[in-house]
Amino acid sequence: MIRKTTPNIGLVGRLRAKLPLFLVLAVVAGGVWVFITEATKKASSTAVVQVTVPTFSEIGRQGEQAFNDNCAACHGENAAGGDGGPPLVHNIYVPGHHGDGSFRLAFQRGVRQHHWRFGDMPPQPQIGNETAAAIIRYVRELQVANGIGTR
């Protein structure tokens, strides 16, 4: 009878043979760690930008109330940004780049994520034309007070 012998490769050799398995396990463990840490992050209500608040026009005051009722939960107090949405008092939303019609379409159709990493904005069907006009006026007055004007 011929006996097959396995050479004694030692501990280092056995570990080297299992290296691909260890690498896979390390990658999986790292992925699980990232998933858990991201899922358990505490929400903060920190504004994304600092906003100077002006004295609003009558329509601007109406828009402020409508914004607080419909938008502030995501876009933060004074449109300074929050956990669920970007700041609207930001150069990205200058009227020359995002005109009033962009805001109206956002209310009607929602917005796919494109400038920020907050995810998609769902449509806001509860916001009618008059309320939309007031919210837009409020945001534009905030923008002007913070040096964001037409380009």
Is the residue at 51 inside a domain?
no
78 vs 4, higher pLDDT: 78
- CATH number of the domain where residue 114 is located: 1.10.760.10
Gap between the Cα atoms of 63 and 60, Å rounded: 5
- 62 in a domain, yes or no? yes
The pLDDT value recorded for residue 48 is 82
The mean-pLDDT minimum among 4-8, 47-51, 80-84, 117-121 falls in: 4-8
- Type and span of the H or E element at 42: none
Residue 83 lies in a domain: yes
* Both structure tokens of 13: 């050799």
Q: Tell me what pLDDT residue 49 has.
A: 87
What is the dihedral angle through the alpha carbons of 112, 140, 88, 65, rounded to the nearest 10 degrees?
A: -100
1: Cα within 13 Å, side-chain hemisphere: 3
The predicted pLDDT at position 14 comes to 75
Three-state DSSP class for residue 15: helix
Q: pLDDT tens across 16-50, in order?
A: 777 777 666 766 666 655 555 544 443 445 678 89
Among 27-36, 55-64, 72-81, 117-126, whose mean pLDDT is lowest?
A: 27-36
In a domain, 111, yes or no: yes
pLDDT at 41: 41
Could you tell me if residue 38 is inside a domain?
no
pLDDT single digits (tens) 98-151 = 999 999 999 999 999 998 999 999 999 999 999 999 999 999 999 999 999 865
* Residue 3 within any structural domain of the chain: no
Residue 119 within a domain: yes
Note whether residue 27 is domain-resident. no
The reported pLDDT for the residue numbered 107 is 97
- Burial (CB count within 10 angstroms: exposed 0-12, middle 13-18, buried 19+), residue 74: middle
pLDDT of residue 70: 97
Instruction: Check: pTM over 0.75? Answer yes or no.
Output: no
Number of domains the chain is built from: 1
Mean pLDDT over 64-72 rounds to 98
Q: What is the mean pLDDT of the chain?
A: 84
The domain containing residue 103 runs over which residues?
A: 58-145
Rounded Cα distance, 88 and 86, in Å? 6
